[in-house]
Structure 1
Amino acid sequence: MILGDIWTILRDCFLCSFYVYGYIRDLEEKVNTLSGKKGELQGVYGGVNGRVQEARQDGYVPRPTVLHWLGYVQDDDRNQRVNSLLQRGVDEKAKLCLRGHCSWNCYSAYSVSSKVVRMTDVLPGLIETGNGFQDVADPPPPPVVEMLPEEITVGMESRLNEVWGYVQDDSVRIICLYGIRGVGKTTLLRNLNHKFSNAGRNFDRVILVESHTDVINIETIQLVLKYRLAIPNEVWDNKNQQGRAAEIFQRLSQRRFALLLDDLRGPINLAEAGVPVQNGSKIVYTTIMEDACNAMGDQMKFKVDCLLPDDAWNLFRLMVKDDVLNSHPDILELAETVADLCGGLPLALITIGGAMANRRNRDAWENAVVELRNYPAEFPGMGDLILPRLKFSYDHLRSETHKTCFLFCSLFLKNQLIRKDELVDLWIGEGLLRGSHNIAVARMQGKCIIDSLIGVCLLEEVQTYFGNYVKMHDLLRDLALWIASQDEGNKILASKPENDELIIEQQSVTWNEAVRVSLWSFLVTSLAPRPFSLWRFFKKSLTTAPPSCPRLLTLLVRYASMKELPEWFFQSMPALRVLEWSRNGNLTKLPMQKGELINLRYLNLSDTVISELPIEIKGCCKLIILLLDGTKKLKAIPKGLLSELSALQVFSRVPTVHYKSYKDKSSVFGVSVSSLLELESLKHIQDVSVVLSTLESRKKFQSSSKLQSCIRRLIIKTPESSSTSSITTMLHDGDFQNLQDLFISNCSVQYLTCLVKIPLLRFLFATNCPLLEEIIANHQAEEPIIGFTHLKQLNLNGLPELRSICGSAMAFPSLESIYVSQCQNLKKLPLNSQSGKRNTVLIGGEEWWNQLAWDDDATKDVFSSKFIRFSDFPNSNELEPCYTYEASVMKRYSIML
């Protein structure tokens, strides 16, 4: 028994000694391991901390877990203990004896070694955590208030202060602003939004929801709230409307917010959108219906009245200008009378004041007084106040052509952006402009008419870096339709987005009377096309016979769901001049019988999936404009068809989406040699847009000075490698006076210096050109470059040898954007501090941006705020340009919207 206990003690002592001996023996190794792990951790720390600092410079917010890890790793007390322990380890190594197998102080050596082991065991976890941080920061939160451009506020200061008083009253949570259209409710709401930013009120978020199409509903409100609350797509996309409402409610319940809703058309249950009604938060909205205020349980109703006489006069005088008012002794008194007849309605004051801004003749002002006093009142609010006054501006347009062009704009939806060039071509197609035998002259006249309509406020110009557009205010569209309904020569049948199916019942114009028909719709929740069935419209007014449309001149149909049209569709449209059927993505066939559409002047089948053109189009001998852009399913154009269109002036068939969408299939758009020969043979052809996808087509194009002078949009994309001389010679020697868009791909060119000679070039896209080194070569920095004055977009992709765009900075007075991708050797842009004064946007990758060299820090700072990173978008393809300028503009606009 005693011997057994003694043996156990001796065994345990031996094992303990052996265990201690291992720590003493491996002391040096363990100290070295700790020192190495410490260094590795410091390296990981440096990388993470660098990423955090860079993210902070970009405005990103570091994640709390990352900051906690950085703080723990860099804790001074802990680091001091580690350093002290390493020093003790060094000291203990000096005490080792027997070749490191023992120590003069075994206990001290063991103690240090064991602490080193424990400390070493902690570091791998920290290293692994640091290496595991994929994202160290999150995007900055949305601003509390989104600032908008200030608007004219003459006479609105007192009412703004009164509404602001209700906002400051903590007992008032919901405020309704109601009044007739055009009275300034939207301006008041926007200035209220601006006042939130200046007043310093403690609101976590101020959210403005405006009606950009026709009506605000639950979906519209939820989409704006998603953006303003920064709800991630991965959270949003997986929920239905009720789930999204719950997500919004959870986020808003934690904030003090102000929700501003513009132009509600009826009561909305905000709880269905997820908006809580809680103390401290505010909901302010505008409406034309007082009943909506009562239905939504508002605590404060505020009627927005017309301006008082003094305020109305000040606004009117601001629009007319004093030099006009003082141009004749009697004009001032007459102008005061005209201002009084506007009834204090801001929209009428601005519109009529704009119309009279250049009237320096006394008779014109006296006549204005007489006309304003004699307008009838048909509809309360709209009929007796707004429409008669707005019609005054219409009546004073300089010609009947101006008036008809204005009415034509009502074919587009309310507040819809309308491309200027598209609108002008539609006018030309219907024959509204003189000189239609010369498309250039007619387009010039069309642009002048647009400028005139903008000048008297009947159209609103919208200019952003996305492009040049106009839009028609909803009241002005109502005016145009009201006028057209009383004009036998301008009867318009137009769809209403809120209820397409009621078009036949609700319109005062019938198919038999209609001169123009517009059928399309937009889904308000996403500002995206919503398909509808055109057949539903017809079956409400007919049984088996086609609709009788003997007077129809223009038929505009977009986003229709039908694949084919009935064979009899065009039989009763003998006068039809404009057939605008673009963006009908399901349309596979266009039915035509011999002898139909003989008066057609404009045909647009872009972005349809038609597989072939009917040979009967040969009979359209008056056709001026033929647009086939984006028709990726269309087979070769029948031989001999184009040559029969003797009046044709505009032909276009190019892709409409971004270039990678077609991959290597863009050759389906390639024009054949026979089609080029037929286009060349046309006497009146002036505007051509084509894809050259074969060597033969390029050779034919290169040999035709006529086609070169007509080309407006040119895409050069061939599967075979092209020699440098063939492309550069064509561009250098050709007469490209009308070329606006140029896309070059798969071409072995080294330089594109010859492009400076192209006067109207606005869009340049060079991609997958492996030998391209410079855009403008051999240029001395001290010599100014004259050229590229109209260039709006410069797109460069897949150019591994590209080193320079130009040797010195260029003016680029019209440049909107520069897109760079996969151009690793392009390290300097031809921009300087003067370039920074324009709204030029740079688009590219973070790595490319970081390697750019700048002339000075000021230039870099300016363009830093205008740089759009690929990483800012989940899918970088969203930013990729298209084959042409218009398509690129619309794509980027829809993304940003």
Structure 2
Amino acid sequence: MEVQVLASILGAVVSETGRLVCGCISSTKKNTVMWKSNLRNLEKERKKLMDLWSDAKSRSESEDRDGTSPTNKVIKEWLTEVEEFLVLMESFQAKVKANENKLCRFSLRIRFSRKLSKLLDKIEQLVKAGSFPDEPVNEPVEYIPGPSVEDQTTASRALDELMKILDDDDDDDKFRRIGVWGMGGVGKTTLVKNLNNKLKSNTSLKRPFSIVVWATVSKELDMKRVQMQIAERLNVEVKMEESIERAAGRLFQRLKEEERFLIILDDVWEKIDLDCLGVPQPELQKGSKIILTSRFLEVCKAMMTDVEVKVSILNGEEAWKLFSRNAGEVVSLEHIRPFAEAVARECCGLPLALITMGAAMRGKTMVKLWKHAFNELRSSVPCVGGIKNQVYNPLKWSYDSLQGNNIKACFLYCCLFAEDFSIEVSELVRCWLAEGLIDEKHDFENSVNNGIAVIEILKDSCLLEDGDYEGTVKMHDVVRDVAIWIVSSSPEDEFNFIVRSGIGLSEISEDELSDSIGRASFMNNKINTLPDCEMQCYKASTLLLQGNLPLEKVPESFLQAFQALRVLNISGSRIQSLPPSLLQLGELRALLLRDCFFLEELPL
């Protein structure tokens, strides 16, 4: 019995050993076949990788010259990774060749096979990662949201005139630079937006433009900001720290590639040097054109326009239609219509005033309110100059009609921000809360919702509008001018703002920082130093210094002058630290330091 058991055990052992031996022999044959196959695959993938590397290298060098791709950094990182891999691969191949006669050894073959397998995995990853997509092709025209002027005869006539000028196909190409001018709020931007959108959908041009580029200029010319807008449209990479001259060279080369371009420069206040901007002179690129909008004919002439199209105010019928559309059905009521027509007439055919006044009177059915509106429009103290008489008074009445706790103060606070600046809604509400302009009796969430409701009221009154980015708002430049005028003409102890935003300042004058200042804005300038002396600004509750990239230091004595400060914004500067006097600002509720990449420490 024991002999049978032992024989059974030995039989099982021999059987298992035989299976393993046969398996090893089979595995060895398989590895030998796989080894040769994998070597061939490695060489095949290497050739594929080298082709991709060569293409990526050429593309990277081309984009270095032209600055035409925001993905170039990714390509360069991939090129470096490939180069490092090829070094490892060459080292492996050298070792294989050196040990060619020893590869019959099972252990050595296994070790090399494992390394080969890892190399194959890595090379497959690199080949997959090296298939970079082509840069997106620009559409010739991008749609720009805005109200239509189809039902406005005056504006439609101007639009048709512009289309006719653009379709000029004479050999002499006489209309290369086109000026669109008219008073603030008359609808120049709206007209040119309609032109842009008509070019997108209209196929009647004899020679379509290969690309149409829109850029907003604004009152205080910031050349780099305009360059960035053009670069974004052209998919050209322009960095903020890059010089204006270098950026201009990139843009110039890119636009020279276009068969026929149209550049639209909106809201121009002074002559712009096209060479400095990076836009080829249209005289040197046949068929290309430039359109600029401005409040001033003199600016058009300075830009050497070949033709000027004046945007006129609306006639009586058009003005009434626009006013009625914004005021709503209330204007059709028999007892309201005469007063509504009188109020519309007081807006003098100015689209911005008509829209603003119409929105302010929407749904108001009491005759007394309409009479009051009419009398206020007629009796307001006029500003200097005809434009202010026709624009500021109607807009100011919309401000006067704002109801609710501190809504007026919230509106005026917005004029501290730079012209055409898109304000983050969350940041604006935070500032209002810190200033105590929003009721804080409720919890934080409800207080924030209250602030957002105020923004919607101001937007519904056409005193704020959507910004350029989601979650932002901004002021129309004329509305902002009115807000600044209201502040400047108010009693000194009521507001006393000092607004010096976006005007190219390199320093702040000590004379401007008086003890009567309530709120001060020096944002979006080029300030590099702040006053370092004894001052008294004990009433100031807001100080905006964001967007001053050259600013590196905040002196100790500077903050000591602002003991009542509730809002301090130094975002987007090069400051490395803040002085200990920051801790003495006992009223401070909002300290904003976004994009302060060089900031290393705060006082403890």
- Please give the TM-score of this superposition, normalised by the length of structure 2: 0.69
Tell me if the contact between 1:203 and 1:257 (Cα under 8 Å) persists in the aligned partners.
no
- Structure 1 residue 564: deviation in Å? 4.4
Question: What CA deviation, in whole Å up to 9, does each residue of 1:184-242 have, x standing for no partner?
Answer: 101111111112223322224242323176555654554444444445779x9898256
Tell me if the contact between 1:563 and 1:589 (Cα under 8 Å) persists in the aligned partners.
no
Cα distance change on mapping 1:434 and 1:242 into 2, 3 Å: closer
Match of 1:550 in 2: 538
Q: Choose between structure 1 and 2: higher strand proportion.
A: 1
| Structure 2 residue runs without a partner (length 5+) | 1-39, 53-126
Match of 2:354 in 1: 349
Tell me if the contact between 1:562 and 1:587 (Cα under 8 Å) persists in the aligned partners.
no
- Comparing 194-203 with 285-294, greater Cα deviation is found at 194-203
Tell me if the contact between 1:552 and 1:576 (Cα under 8 Å) persists in the aligned partners.
yes
1:162 aligns with 2:161: yes
Cα distance change on mapping 1:138 and 1:259 into 2, 3 Å: same
CA distance in 2, matches of 1:414, 1:145: 26
Tell me if the contact between 1:407 and 1:480 (Cα under 8 Å) persists in the aligned partners.
yes
Match of 2:478 in 1: 475
Question: What CA deviation, in whole Å up to 9, does each residue of 1:256-300 have, x standing for no partner?
Answer: 222222111112232442423244332221111111222222221
- Structure 1 residue 553: deviation in Å? 1.8
1:425 aligns with 2:430: yes
Match of 1:283 in 2: 290
Match of 1:379 in 2: 384
CA distance in 1, matches of 2:427, 2:367: 39
CA distance in 1, matches of 2:476, 2:466: 11
Question: What CA deviation, in whole Å up to 9, does each residue of 1:153-212 have, x standing for no partner?
Answer: 241222211222222233322211111111110111111111222332222424232317
1:604 aligns with 2:599: no
The amino acid that maps onto 1:313 is W
* Percent of aligned positions that are identical: 29
Q: After superposition, where does 1:42-53 map in structure 2 within 5 Å?
A: none
CA RMSD of aligned residues (A): 3.7
Match of 2:70 in 1: none
The amino acid that maps onto 1:275 is P
- Structure 1 residue 495: deviation in Å? 2.2
1:259 aligns with 2:263: yes
CA distance in 1, matches of 2:500, 2:130: 51
1:146 aligns with 2:142: yes
CA distance in 2, matches of 1:556, 1:373: 36
Pick aligned residue for 1:198 from 198, 201, 216:
201
Cα distance change on mapping 1:222 and 1:429 into 2, 3 Å: closer
CA distance in 2, matches of 1:148, 1:588: 42
Q: After superposition, where does 1:625-640 map in structure 2 within 5 Å?
A: 633-634=600-601
Tell me if the contact between 1:213 and 1:416 (Cα under 8 Å) persists in the aligned partners.
no
CA distance in 1, matches of 2:201, 2:527: 46
CA distance in 2, matches of 1:224, 1:580: 25
| Structure 1 residue runs without a partner (length 5+) | 1-35, 49-130, 523-530, 610-629, 639-897
- Structure 1 residue 476: deviation in Å? 1.8
Tell me if the contact between 1:218 and 1:270 (Cα under 8 Å) persists in the aligned partners.
no
1:178 aligns with 2:176: no
Match of 1:497 in 2: 502
Match of 2:96 in 1: none
- Structure 1 residue 338: deviation in Å? 0.8
CA distance in 2, matches of 1:583, 1:186: 30
Tell me if the contact between 2:218 and 2:419 (Cα under 8 Å) persists in the aligned partners.
yes
Cα distance change on mapping 1:441 and 1:179 into 2, 3 Å: same
Cα distance change on mapping 1:492 and 1:342 into 2, 3 Å: same
Match of 1:589 in 2: 578
Tell me if the contact between 2:574 and 2:598 (Cα under 8 Å) persists in the aligned partners.
no
Tell me if the contact between 1:179 and 1:185 (Cα under 8 Å) persists in the aligned partners.
yes
Q: After superposition, where does 1:522-671 map in structure 2 within 5 Å?
A: 532-535=527-530, 538=531, 544=533, 546-560=534-548, 561-592=550-581, 596-598=584-586, 600-604=587-591, 606-607=593-594, 633-634=600-601
Secondary structure at 2:557 match in 1: coil
Question: What CA deviation, in whole Å up to 9, does each residue of 1:764-816 have, x standing for no partner?
Answer: xxxxxxxxxxxxxxxxxxxxxxxxxxxxxxxxxxxxxxxxxxxxxxxxxxxxx
Match of 1:243 in 2: 249
Tell me if the contact between 2:529 and 2:553 (Cα under 8 Å) persists in the aligned partners.
no
Match of 2:23 in 1: none
Match of 1:449 in 2: 454
Cα distance change on mapping 1:585 and 1:499 into 2, 3 Å: closer
CA distance in 2, matches of 1:214, 1:300: 22
Q: Which has the higher contact order (CA 8 A, sep 6+)?
A: 2
Cα distance change on mapping 1:173 and 1:429 into 2, 3 Å: same
Match of 1:525 in 2: none
The amino acid that maps onto 1:151 is P
CA distance in 1, matches of 2:418, 2:322: 29
Match of 2:319 in 1: 312
CA distance in 2, matches of 1:608, 1:261: 29
- Comparing 386-395 with 159-168, greater Cα deviation is found at 159-168
Count matched residues: 468
Q: After superposition, where does 1:129-144 map in structure 2 within 5 Å?
A: 138-144=134-140
The amino acid that maps onto 2:160 is N
CA distance in 2, matches of 1:232, 1:592: 41
CA distance in 1, matches of 2:251, 2:465: 35
Q: Choose between structure 1 and 2: higher helix proportion.
A: 2
- Please give the TM-score of this superposition, normalised by the length of structure 1: 0.48
